[in-house]
Structure 1
Amino acid sequence: MPDTLIWTGSYTADAGGNGAGIGALLARPDGSLEALGLAAACESPSFLAVHPALPVVYAVHEHAQTVSAYRRTGSGIALEPLGEAWTAGAAACHVAVDPQGRFLVVDCWGDGQVLLYELDASGAIASRRAAEPSQDPYDAGRPSRAHAALTLQDGRIMTTDLGHDLLRLWDYVPGEGLRHTQDVVLPMDSGPRHLVQHPGGTVFVVTEYSIEVAAVRAGADGRFELAAMGPAGAAEASDGDAAAEIALSPDGRHAYVGVRGSNRICTMRISDGRAGDGRAGDGGTRLEPVADTPSGGDWPRHHLVREGWLHVAHERSNDVVTFRLDPESGLPAGPAGRLETGSPTALIVGGSA
């Protein structure tokens, strides 16, 4: 099994952080991590994405309100700018790449913008288009807070809006941008943040404010509906808690939710919704909290599940803590290691090292 390259996002001095830009880690099959150094010096690349076929990394610079493409040069870790930085929106906090490498979607927490950037054959950004703005379904006068995007198995794009408690569905129209097709409304003040899609089709969404996971899935007509919603952790949320990331195990049997404040990783078991005697249940995929594990640091902002290991990036304690995952229970054991790095905010696999 080869070593794996992991790119790290960070908060830098412009955001009061201790990072220096985009970093690189070497992840070995035994779970150990080695810092390879700084790949690109830049301001607060708080979230990253990797082109599916080219040696190109994309970063949103949250406080500079831009998005940039970086090209890997040679066999080392160095990243050089691929074209100029493009204007994004206020507090641009997430970038996602189309699995076919046609476009990026950038979500902006500060002003609620969802932005589409088309890519050229080299992976460089070629155009920018703003999507239709969100409307508060509760008519409560709250600001829109777009936060994350995911390309679904059927090619549609789903984005989250923390401020409006919405999941928004889009079609990509080449040369035109994103065409809004549907909204799924979640309970008021739940705060949908990040999302993943299970191989069975259900999309799981972690809610930052209510510390829950929502399960949504498409019906026969292709429209998504909220199927279930429940607590992310085995323990109740504490004052000051804020859920961050959700990730699935490679076999699809477990999900992991990071909770800042109480600083824990919540392990959840995934079932197919069948009754105990084997009869079909609700026909969907459900999550059940199993146990909570201390994350090993302060403010677990992002985490990565990789080949039997869980790597947790702690923004405030300036480290990445590694846990071994039990293959049967799915529970983290350890910590098995700790690597110091400045204000890490994202861990993104970049391929074989």
Structure 2
Amino acid sequence: MGNDNTLMWAGSYTADRNGNGKGIAALSADDQGHLTSAGLAVASNSPSFLALHPTLPVVYAVAEEGKTVRAYRRTGEAELEAFGEPWPAGDATCHVAADPQGRFIVATCWGDGQVILYELDHDGAITSRTSAAAAVDPHFTAPTDGERPSRAHSSLMLPDGRVMTTDLGHDLVRVWKYAPAEGLQPDHEVVLPKGSGPRHMARHHSGSVFVDTEYSVEVAIVRMEPDGTYELTAVVPASINKPFDGDSGAEIALSPDGRFAYVGVRGSNRICVLKVTHDGTGLEPLADVPCGGDWPRHHLVREGWLYVANEGSDDVVSFRLDPATGLPDGPVGRVETGSPSMLVAAR
């Protein structure tokens, strides 16, 4: 692997989730966007989402079907090994994120709505587990409406040390405070429109948090008020086109300069490009680009390139990003890998 190459870990769905992956794969991208396989980093069952320790060569992975979270330690250029035992999580644990100070990780569970904090030691090993308070549906009005299940989907670490999580089932963004040895304590919550389905988040350097919605295929903008609470300030379409039947929002990522946002849409298989306006307080749909495959579950923006994990077509493709317009050009490169679900650049 050349010195200028980018190594990426790719999460996947494996046979236990009817996927074609074998575990965490290692992929290499050169400065021309060409992609190659660097082999299987470690075999594991449906490591569908990954997070890196901020300073140590440790990777955290969920086992979505196995209802666990586990740490892996990097042992070579593109190899990982299990580090400690798996820790219990919740049903369909679909996301994990790491505290920038390396104190803890947070896992969110689509199946049962749990938000779980795991504390870490100085080696990055998991040492404890605390499940946070359950969500309450703010849109629930009467028993005749039927109860909607809570579906925690992602977490975001805020600069002030708080943690933000989405609940796709209850249309909620929740903000938490971290209390050592006690886990996450509720701070406040932001209610999104009923049926929107907040999924993933990206924080703009202006302080805005952009939340893409799985069901309505939109982007909600939440901003912090002077008193420290976040408020919903706008909801904009993710696409210049209306959603097609069967569409669902996937990942949202920002260009490093904060001028553009990229939202994946499964179904019609698009990457929606939005322009960030008004100093980060607004978004404007700019263009839609075919994702280069089927079912773009996740994508990574890095150093002028967009890498898309197409779960349905068993491949990862690269697009060159125009620095002026923000538009993806390609696909430039493609590599086969089974049921890719998530991409993160290895450190």
Task: Provide the TM-score with structure 1 as the length reference.
Answer: 0.95
Name the counterpart of 2:133. 132
Shift of 1:225: 0.3
Name the counterpart of 2:102. 101
Q: Give the residue type in structure 2 aligned to 1:16.
A: N
1:169 aligned to which of 164, 175, 179:
175
Alpha-carbon distance in structure 2 between the residues aligned to 1:32 and 1:285: 35
Name the counterpart of 2:332. 336
1:240 aligned to which of 216, 237, 246:
246
1:146-157 correspondence runs (5 A): 146-157=152-163
Alpha-carbon distance in structure 2 between the residues aligned to 1:252 and 1:145: 29
Name the counterpart of 2:113. 112
Q: Mark the runs of 5 or more structure 2 residues left unpaired by the alignment.
A: none
Q: Would the aligned equivalents of 1:191 and 1:209 in 2 still touch at CA under 8 Å?
A: yes
Q: Give the residue type in structure 1 aligned to 2:126.
A: I
Moved more, 131-140 or 202-211: 131-140
Shift of 1:76: 2.7
Residue 59, structure 1, aligned to residue 64, structure 2: no
Q: Mark the runs of 5 or more structure 1 residues left unpaired by the alignment.
A: 274-283
Shift of 1:2: 2.9
Alpha-carbon distance in structure 2 between the residues aligned to 1:82 and 1:38: 17
Shift of 1:272: 2.1
Name the counterpart of 1:348. 344
Name the counterpart of 1:279. none
Shift of 1:213: 0.1
Name the counterpart of 1:24. 26
1:178 aligned to which of 170, 184, 188:
184
Alpha-carbon distance in structure 2 between the residues aligned to 1:58 and 1:125: 10
1:192-211 correspondence runs (5 A): 192-211=198-217
Shift of 1:33: 1.6
CA displacement, residues 84-135 of structure 1 (integer Å, 9 cap, x when unaligned): 0000000000000001110000000000000000001110100000000000
1:210-221 correspondence runs (5 A): 210-221=216-227
Name the counterpart of 1:308. 304
Runs of 4+ in structure 1 displaced over 2 angstroms?
none
Shift of 1:30: 1.8
What is the alpha-carbon root mean square deviation over aligned residues?
0.9
Alpha-carbon distance in structure 2 between the residues aligned to 1:66 and 1:119: 16
Q: Give the residue type in structure 2 aligned to 1:87.
A: P
Q: Give the residue type in structure 2 aligned to 1:68.
A: R
Q: Give the residue type in structure 1 aligned to 2:51.
A: A
Alpha-carbon distance in structure 1 between the residues aligned to 2:72 and 2:28: 19
Identity among equivalent pairs (%): 63
Q: Give the residue type in structure 2 aligned to 1:345.
A: S
Task: Provide the TM-score with structure 2 as the length reference.
Answer: 0.97
Name the counterpart of 1:187. 193
Q: Give the residue type in structure 2 aligned to 1:319.
A: D
SS at match of 2:102: coil
Alpha-carbon distance in structure 2 between the residues aligned to 1:209 and 1:243: 7
1:49 aligned to which of 51, 56, 59:
51
2:269 aligned to which of 263, 269, 272:
263
Name the counterpart of 2:256. 250
Alpha-carbon distance in structure 1 between the residues aligned to 2:157 and 2:88: 22
Q: How many pairs were matched up?
A: 340
